């Protein structure tokens, strides 16, 4: 089976992890701050707070922004459940803003309309989480302008987008957001096995996220509410968690980031090739906006179901039977039974639902060969035939 995504580990990656294992601290050593500095410098942002997953990064980002009971978090319905669950972890309510028909990202026009309505009803969101689906940057200038006008905070879920750029700045620079979150799961662009990082230009948010990452405990007298008992003293000033990344993982991450630009370039070359090979099939292909650079985590296509006889499900099954590990990103979150049990129902976010009815993610990862890619194209051509 050709998977939809796969990590790539080099000998340098292996060597660096073995060095940590044999010679250094396994956790809470020098590798984690070094990894944070490496990624922050890459993105031209002031701070990176490394954690054990993007899910944890989203959680501490929400906590640092003060999200809690009685607050609202809005995100795209077309995302992984973690982008929404972080709101529920904090006791907040979650709602969604439908996607744009062309980019498949949160639509800024629909966001504005929903904000005007929410303002009239006195229930504006505290936090909005745009998701750079596939790695394709959201319209951050528009979202950032709305954040200023309506007074909400922005967390970019950039789990798909490290290595990309928006209007000449790296994703993670937080030019139009308070915090940007990356994922280092093996299917994503660079990996630490499990892992994530929250980027920010705010000293205060970085400090608060650092506290929430590690039990809410500090040894910094400036952060303490009471005087230290002695030199041994640490103080718990928040209810935090253990969301720490290990030094083994951080060392792997530092080594992987050296190849980040090469990984993204390889993904673009393969996507260009898909664009050409698939151009004449009854498909809607993923677009890439000029002036931005997608991280290109995913290459989803949409079946033009009116022009083919097999159903969406039949095409999916035929691809799997042909050894192509296609996937579907994503089941709209509001249609998950867990979320549906709140207030949501089919029809709430029709553009995301239309996407869900047609989409199919094709394999895309740096080590995908041209021969494998040809196999995917041949299998898809056969799968959509009567």
Ligand X SMILES: *Cc1c(COP(=O)(O)O)cnc(C)c1O
31/83 with CB nearer ligand X = 83
Q: List residues bridging with 263 in a β-sheet.
A: none
Query: Which part of the chain contacts ligand X (CB under 6 A), choosing from 53-61, 229-237, 277-285, 372-380?
Result: 53-61
133/146 with CB nearer ligand X = 133
Instruction: Write the DSSP assignment of 88-142 as a string of letters.
Output: HHTT-EEEE-PBPTTT-SBPHHHHHHHHHHHHHHT---SEEE-B-GGGPPP-HHH
Closest to 66 measured CA to CA, from 224, 212, 189, 191: 212
CB of 366 to ligand X, least distance (A): 18
106/124 with CB nearer ligand X = 106
Peptide bond into 330 cis (omega under 30): yes
190/293 with CB nearer ligand X = 190
Q: List residues bridging with 154 in a β-sheet.
A: 128
Q: For ligand X, what does the binding mask look like between residues 59 and 88, x meaning CB under 6 A?
A: --------------------xx-xx-----
Does residue 55 touch ligand X according to CB under 6 A?
Answer: yes
CB of 333 to ligand X, least distance (A): 10
CB of 192 to ligand X, least distance (A): 9
Q: Helices 31-43 and 247-257, interaxial angle, to 10°?
A: 30
83/180 with CB nearer ligand X = 83
51/278 with CB nearer ligand X = 51
Query: Which part of the chain contacts ligand X (CB under 6 A), choosing from 47-55, 64-72, 208-216, 361-369?
Result: 47-55
Residues of span 118-157 touching ligand X by CB under 6 A = 131, 157
Determine which residue in the list 17, 32, 50, 54 makes contact with ligand X, applying CB under 6 A.
54
| b/e 174-203 (16+ beta carbons within 10 angstroms → b) | bbbbbbbbbbbbbbbbbbbbbbbbbbbbbe
Query: How many other CB atoms are found less than 10 A from the CB of residue 250?
Result: 29
Give dist(CA 32, CA 264) in Å, integer: 24
CB of 249 to ligand X, least distance (A): 11
Residues of span 361-380 touching ligand X by CB under 6 A = none
Determine which residue in the list 85, 105, 183, 249 makes contact with ligand X, applying CB under 6 A.
183
Closest to 52 measured CA to CA, from 219, 223, 246: 246
3-state secondary structure labels for all residues of 147-159 = HHHHCCEEEEECC
193/322 with CB nearer ligand X = 193
124/189 with CB nearer ligand X = 189
Q: For ligand X, what does the binding mask look like between residues 95 and 114, x meaning CB under 6 A?
A: --------------------
Give dist(CA 309, CA 311) in Å, integer: 7
Q: How many chain residues touch ligand X (CB under 6 A)?
A: 14
Residue identified by tokens 């952060």 is: 223
Determine which residue in the list 87, 196, 286, 363 makes contact with ligand X, applying CB under 6 A.
196
Which uninterrupted H or E stretch holds 166? Answer: strand 165-166
38/55 with CB nearer ligand X = 55
Query: Which part of the chain contacts ligand X (CB under 6 A), choosing from 22-30, 48-56, 222-230, 341-349?
Result: 48-56
* 290-293, long-range: CB < 8 A, 24+ apart: 291/167, 291/168, 292/136, 292/137, 292/164, 292/165, 292/166, 292/167, 293/137, 293/163, 293/164, 293/165, 293/264
Which residues of the chain form contacts with ligand X (CB under 6 A)? 53-55, 79-80, 82-83, 131, 157, 159-160, 183, 185, 196
């Amino acid at each position: 089976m050709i998977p939809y995504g796969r990590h790539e580990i080099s000998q340098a990656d292996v060597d660096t992890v073995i060095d940590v294992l044999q010679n250094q601290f396994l956790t809470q050593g020098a590798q984690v701050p070094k990894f944070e500095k490496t990624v922050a410098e890459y993105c031209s942002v002031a701070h990176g707070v490394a954690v054990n997953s993007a899910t944890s990064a989203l959680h501490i980002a929400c906590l640092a922004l003060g999200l809690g009971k009685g607050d609202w978090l809005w995100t795209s319905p077309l995302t992984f459940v973690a982008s929404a669950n972080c709101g529920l972890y904090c006791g907040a309510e979650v709602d969604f803003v439908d996607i744009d028909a062309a980019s498949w990202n949160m639509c800024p026009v629909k966001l504005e309309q929903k904000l005007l309505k929410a303002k009239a009803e006195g229930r504006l969101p505290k936090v909005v989480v745009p998701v750079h689906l596939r790695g394709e940057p959201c319209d951050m200038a528009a979202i950032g302008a709305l954040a200023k006008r309506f007074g909400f905070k922005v967390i970019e879920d950039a789990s798909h987008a490290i290595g990309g750029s928006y209007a000449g700045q790296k994703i993670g620079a937080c030019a139009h957001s308070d915090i940007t979150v990356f994922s280092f799961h093996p299917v994503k662009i660079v990996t630490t096995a499990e892992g994530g990082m929250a980027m920010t230009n705010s000293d205060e948010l970085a400090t608060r996220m650092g506290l929430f990452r590690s039990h809410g405990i500090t040894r910094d007298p400036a952060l303490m509410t009471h005087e230290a008992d002695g030199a041994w003293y640490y103080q718990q000033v928040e209810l935090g968690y253990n969301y720490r990344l290990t030094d083994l993982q951080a060392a792997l991450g530092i080594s992987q980031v050296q190849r980040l630009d090469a990984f993204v370039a390889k993904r673009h070359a393969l996507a260009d090739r898909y664009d050409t090979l698939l151009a004449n099939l009854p498909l809607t292909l993923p677009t890439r906006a000029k002036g931005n650079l997608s991280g290109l985590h995913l290459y989803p296509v949409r079946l033009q179901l009116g022009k083919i006889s097999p159903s969406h499900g039949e095409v999916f099954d035929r691809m799997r039977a042909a050894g192509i590990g296609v996937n579907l990103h994503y089941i709209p979150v509001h249609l998950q039974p867990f979320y549906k049990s709140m207030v949501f129902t089919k029809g709430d976010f029709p553009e995301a639902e239309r996407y869900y009815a047609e989409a199919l993610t094709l394999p895309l990862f740096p080590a995908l060969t041209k021969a494998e890619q040809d196999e995917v194209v041949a299998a898809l051509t056969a799968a959509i035939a009567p």
